[in-house]
Structure formats: C-alpha cells, structure tokens
Structure 1
Amino acid sequence: MNGSRRLLTVAEREEIALGVASGVSGEQIAARIGRCPSVVCREIARHGGRAGYRGHRAQDRAVTARCRPKVRRLDADERLRERVLDRMRVSWSPGQIAAELKRQAATGQAGMMPTVSHQAIYDWIYARPKGELRALAARQITLRSGRTRRRGRRLNPAQKARIVGMTSIEQRPDEVAHRRVPGHWEGDLLIGKAGRTAMGTLVERTSRFLIPVALPLGKDSGGLKDALIDAVTDLPAWLRKTLTWDCGTEMAQHAALTVATNVKVYFAHPHSPWERGTNENTNRWLREYFPKGTDIPTDPAYLWSVAREINGRPRQILDWRKPTEVFTELLTSKIAYTE
C-alpha cells in the first residue's frame, strides 16, 4: 500500500465516490486506489461525509483550498472584522474575542458571527502595514501589549532580600498553590513617573479579582501599610488569609499589617515575577491605563473605575467567566453556607 503524501487525483476521487455510493468501507476503498485508509476517511469527512460526498465537487474544493495567497477571514468578513476591532478598542485580548465568538456559536445566539481563532487575530494584526497600524492606533485599536511583532522575555538574576523578618514563599501553605481555597492574595506596586507616584494592587488568586489601592504617599512603607489595612478590613475573615508580595522595601511594615488584619505576608524570591504571575499579568493590563512614564492617580474612585473594567473582562483561566462574577459567587456561596 502506497503511503506517500501525493495529492489525490480526480480519478481517485471519482473512485472514492463510487465506493461510497456502493457502501464499501473506507479500508476497501483505500486498498482499491493504493492509499492509506486515514487519507480516504479524512477525504470523505472533509467533503460532505458519506451522505454528501461527490468526486467532482471534492476536486473543485481541493483546488480552491490550495490557491495562494489566501484571503484572511478578517479581511473577507467586514462584520467579523468590525466585531474584533470593537472588542480590541476596549482592551479585549485576541483570546477573549475568539472565546466569545466560539461561545456564541455554540449557544446559537441571535446575530452570531463566524468564529475566528486567537492566532488568526494575532496574525492579522502582525500582517498590517505600518501605516495601517498607525491608523488603528489612532482609533485606540491595538494589542494590549502595544506590540506589532512577537518578542521573547528575559529573566533577571536573583538578588538578596533587604527586609527584616521576612517569611519566604517556600513556607506558604500548600493550599495557596492549587487556588481552590479563596482568600489568598498577590500584591505589588505600580510605579508612576520618576517614582514620585504609585498605587498598590491586590489580586485574589482564585477569582483573579483586582482591588486597587490608592497611595497618596507614594511608595512610603507606612502609607502602604495603612492603605492595605483599609483595603482588606471590610473583607470577611475567610477572604483575607495570606498575601504574597515581592521583596520591595515598601513592605517593610509587613508585621504591623499582619497584626492589624491577620493576613500573613509571604515574600517571593527576588526578581522572580512568575511566583506572583496573576498579579504581574494584572499590573500589565493596568499599564494600558497608566503607561510607564506617567503619574499614577490617587483618586480611589477613578482607580476603581479602571479596576471594574479589568474585573469585567472574561478570562480563559476562569472558563471565560469574569473575575467579578467569580468573586461575587465566592461571597454569596459562603454567606449562604454560613447562614
């Protein structure tokens, strides 16, 4: 049996059609034309199945599919392209856009559009000429990273910590790692221009819910401690168990924070952002609103308006639910249980 990858011919497709019409199995058809059974089975499935396979029609489709260059789906479908661009304008990622379209198609929602993969969206963006990219940027349509091409990431070498009385992340309870138990948080600072302004960010590991922390005193450790106390005091005790921070000296008063809130603080290894990956990703999204080199606002109402937008974005890790939905479910389910 010939297992080569040569293209099926018109004669072979007509022979497949005759075999299908006669009720012959795929293995028998493959033996007749000297092909692998998998080739024949894929050919039949690809072009209408046993109920609809026709040799000449399959040949026409195959010739069309081999034509190059192909028209990208986003170029061919204006409605689909505008839906993608509308979502990108409000900072949705290609993965979130693709998931929404797929979910709508699966549920048969009215007015649904064709699906498109996240990779196809990335490829479409990266294929734009520079002039078109500038025009899209003027309409506030860009990837959240602002990139027009892919690039790798660098890791920094480790350095010694500088905070007294630190408890390493290695001593953190095992239940934190698997994220099934709520109440464990990751935190960090978002620094403004020249280090003069800053805000704190708290992200709950189970729901990915963001709490913004206004810091009128900037990176001052005392100001951070007081602001964090205010931010978590109203949370129920079961939702404030641990906090994982980096080794920045702004957390020098971690012991006082623990005494006031009963939140145990653990420190990641120096220059190891992946140990607080949820918080790092969230801070990256915040940079869409507060780019590097700009001042960070200190108005809590404004910071919360930004946080609501981020908490309202569907996340793949949450099965495309929103952090707001998951956090609310945690609160209501626990309240119902305790009552």
Structure 2
Amino acid sequence: MSSRKHQKLTLKERVIIETLLKENNSQSYIAKTLSRARSTISRELHKWGENYREEYSAEIAFWAAKDYYLNKRNRDKISTYKKLRFYVYKGLLNQWTPEQIAGSIKIKYPNDPIMSISHEAIYRHIYLTPQGALNKKLIKLLVRKKTRRRPIKKKRGNGSKIINQVSIDLRPKHIELREEVGHWEGDLIIGAGHKSAIGTIVERKSRYTLIIKLKARNAKEIAKMFSKKLNQLNPIFKKSMTYDNGIEMAKHKNITKNTGMKIYFAHPYSSWERGTNENTNGLIRRYFPKGTDFNKISEKMLLKVQEKLNNRPRKIIGFKTPKQVLENELKFVA
C-alpha cells in the first residue's frame, strides 16, 4: 500500500468506488478492495457531501481532479474552491440550470463569500474551454447542451414597466415551504417566430399544471384567460401566483380582481425563483418542441397534455400524482 501512497485515484478506481457505493459497501471495504488508505477514500467522498452514495459520479470526479491539476495557474472561482465546485457540479448532475444553482446557493450559504457565484460565472466556467474533456461533459449536463454560448444582448433603454407590481421579496415566507396549497407560478411558452404562445401555471406544493390556450400575447387576453382557467378551481386553490417581469402581466390587477389571488413578481433574470414552473415548461416542451406554432394546436390537445402531466407519478411528492395531491387536500375542507 505504501508504494501507492501518493498516486492519484484513476478513472477505473473511481468507477469501482461508484459501483461499490451503489452496493451499499462501507468506506473501509472500498479502501481494502482498492488497496488504498481509508483516508484517501474518505477525502474523495467527502467532497460530495452527506449524500455521496446517491450523488457520486466517477466521471465527474475524475475530470474535476484532472482539471484541477492541469489548470492550477489559470483558475476561476469554481476551480479554486472545492466546496463550491462540487456544489455546482452536483447541481448540474441533478439537471439544475446555472440560474437555479446560483439562486439556491445564496439561500443555503447566505453569509459565505466563497459559496457565492453568479449564473454567468457558472456559464463562463462551463464554456471556458468548450473542446476540453471536462467541459464537454459539463455542457452535456445543461438543458440545451449548446456547444457554444452566445453573449447576452443588452436591452436598450429601461423597457416597459409593470405598474403596481409587488416584489417576491414581500411574498409571505411560508409560501416558500410548500406546506400549503393554492400558491402558483406562471409563465408563457412562446411559439415559432414569437407569433404564438400558451400560458402555463403550476401549483407549488402539488405540481398540478394548467395549460392555457391563448389567442394573443397581449396583457388583456392573458388576464382574461388566466382568470377563466383559475376560476374553474376550488377557492382553496386560489391564493397567490408568482410571475416573472414579462409585460404580458401588465393587467395583473385584473387577475387579482377576478380571482382574489395575489400576484408577486420575481426579480429580473431570476428564473430559479420560479423553478417549479421552469421545470414544468421543460416537460411541456417534450410534447411541443421549440418551433411549434401554438395557433395550430387545439385546446383539446393542450388539455390532453395537461392530463398526462397531472396523472404522472412524481418522485418529489412521494410518487403520488399532482391530481391525487389536490384531491387529497379537498378531503380536509370542511
């Protein structure tokens, strides 16, 4: 064992580690199998946190280590700090977007300057050397998996502002806990050539989804159709909705007047604040990929997809369906 004291773990060894972890073997057993010191195995797994048995990835661990030794002199923040690096990589492995990673880390480590990163810095790290072995793997973990990233175009002027909007900062803290039904997140999915759209609203606790047929993208049509759809629900399911800063929500007061629901607005460029809705839009895109003309999609087809999503078991709610969760809530109504 002494002859291997200073040798780095190989990809083959890491694959064995991953396999033995899935078989629920102890760190001591893994160390003995590989003829390694237990401390070596412990250090390797400690980087992945408490849930290393579920989250450890041999490939990511190997390429992260290789990147560390190859780029010691040219290191960004993610490369410099192991704890930050593995938080970001674990987020990517869990199919989180850089926006969701950057947002969640602020909540989990509010007073730790090391554990603070913008989504743009995460993207820069991923695309630093897009042809590099590690970067190729990181790009494949992104939702869109683009090999190149176009720079964000700056908008001219201040743009249109929504009058009387209430910031998500003023939203009651208990809504974040998802312990109460009736709090929703809303958005639009835009069709081909930005000439059509559908509305999507997702309940935060149950993940119950509403898909709304729209004749136009203007604020009047959206307020009308969102209100109509929401008013089909039992009153206990109509408490609040969180939306982004899209000008299509300019008539949000009409929705509040028609439904009694309070409307809160997320911060600009903070899609992670409506993560449930963003993830659901990704599921809907499986049925209506980018380039779909929603003017040609019937309301009947939208309802069919809505039913599929609401009758689909979800791990995050204990493999119940969103519909079952809502129906269960009705049992407690006096």
Provide TM-score, normalisation by structure 2.
0.54
Residues 38 and 276 of structure 1, relative CA distance in 2, 3 Å threshold: closer
Distance 1:241 1:181 in 2: 10
Deviation at 1:260, TM superposition (A): 1.2
Q: Report the CA distance between 1:290 and its aligned residue.
A: 1.4
8 Å Cα contact 1:144-1:288 kept in structure 2: no
The percentage of counterpart residues that share the same residue type is: 37
Aligned match of 2:180: 181
Cross-structure match for 1:314: 313
Aligned to 2:228, what secondary structure does the other structure show? helix
Residue matched to 1:162: 161
SS in 2 for 1:265: strand
Give the residue type in structure 2 aligned to 1:289.
Y
Query: What's the TM-score once normalised by structure 1's chain length?
Result: 0.53
CA offsets per residue over residues 50-84 of structure 1, 9 Å max, x none? xxxxxxxxxxxxxxxxxxxxxxxxxxxxxxxxxxx
Query: How many Å separate the matches in 2 of 1:187 and 1:39?
Result: 49
Compute the displacement of 1:208 (Å).
Answer: 0.5
Report the CA distance shift for 1:195/1:4 in structure 2 as closer, same or farther (over 3 A).
closer
State the partner residue of 2:332: 334
Q: Aligned partners of 2:160 and 2:320: how far apart in 1?
A: 37
The CA deviation at 1:280 is 0.6
Which of 281, 285, 288 is equivalent to 2:286? 288
Question: 2-side partners of 1:294 and 1:41: how far apart?
Answer: 53
Which stretches in structure 1 are left out of the alignment for 5+ residues?
A: 6-36, 44-93, 96-142
TM-superposition CA deviations, 1:201-248 (whole Å, max 9, x none): 0100000010111112x2111111110111011222221000001111
Equivalent residue letter for 2:174: E
Shift of 1:278: 0.4
Alpha-carbon separation, structure 1, partners of 2:159 and 2:319: 39
CA distance in 2, matches of 1:38, 1:146: 40
Aligned to 1:192: 191
CA distance in 2: counterparts of 1:167 and 1:40, whole angstroms:
54
What residue number does 1:243 align with? 241
8 A contact 1:168–1:268 mirrored in 2: yes
CA distance in 1, matches of 2:284, 2:218: 21
The one of 255, 265, 268 equivalent to 1:270 is 268
Give the Cα–Cα distance (whole angstroms) in 2 for the partners of residues 330 and 197 of structure 1.
35
What corresponds to 2:232 in structure 1? 234
- 8 Å contact kept, 1:215–1:298: no
Could you tell me which of 234, 248, 253 is aligned with 1:255? 253
The offset of 1:154, in angstroms, is 9.7
Whether the 8 Å CA contact 1:144–1:285 is kept in 2: the answer is no
Deviation, structure 1 residue 311: 2.3
Q: Is the 8 A contact 1:161 1:270 kept in 2?
A: no
Gap change, CA 1:39 and 1:276, over 3 Å in 2? closer
Partner of 1:213: 212
- Whole-angstrom CA distance in 2 between matches of 1:154 and 1:178: 35
Query: Mind listing any 5+ residue stretches in structure 2 that lack a counterpart?
Result: 6-26, 34-92, 95-140
Match of 1:300 in 2: 299
The number of residues matched between the two structures is 209
SS in 2 for 1:325: helix
User: Could you tell me whether the CA contact under 8 Å between 1:199 and 1:298 is conserved in 2?
Assistant: no
| Post-superposition CA distance 1:75-108 (Å, at most 9, x none) | xxxxxxxxxxxxxxxxxxx99xxxxxxxxxxxxx
Superposition map of 1:68-217 within 5 A: 162-216=161-215
CA change 1:212–1:252 in 2 (3 A) is same
Q: Aligned in 2, Cα 1:175/1:153: closer, same or farther, shift over 3 Å?
A: farther
Q: How far is the alpha carbon of 1:173 from its aligned partner?
A: 1.1
Q: How far 1:288 moved relative to its partner?
A: 1.3
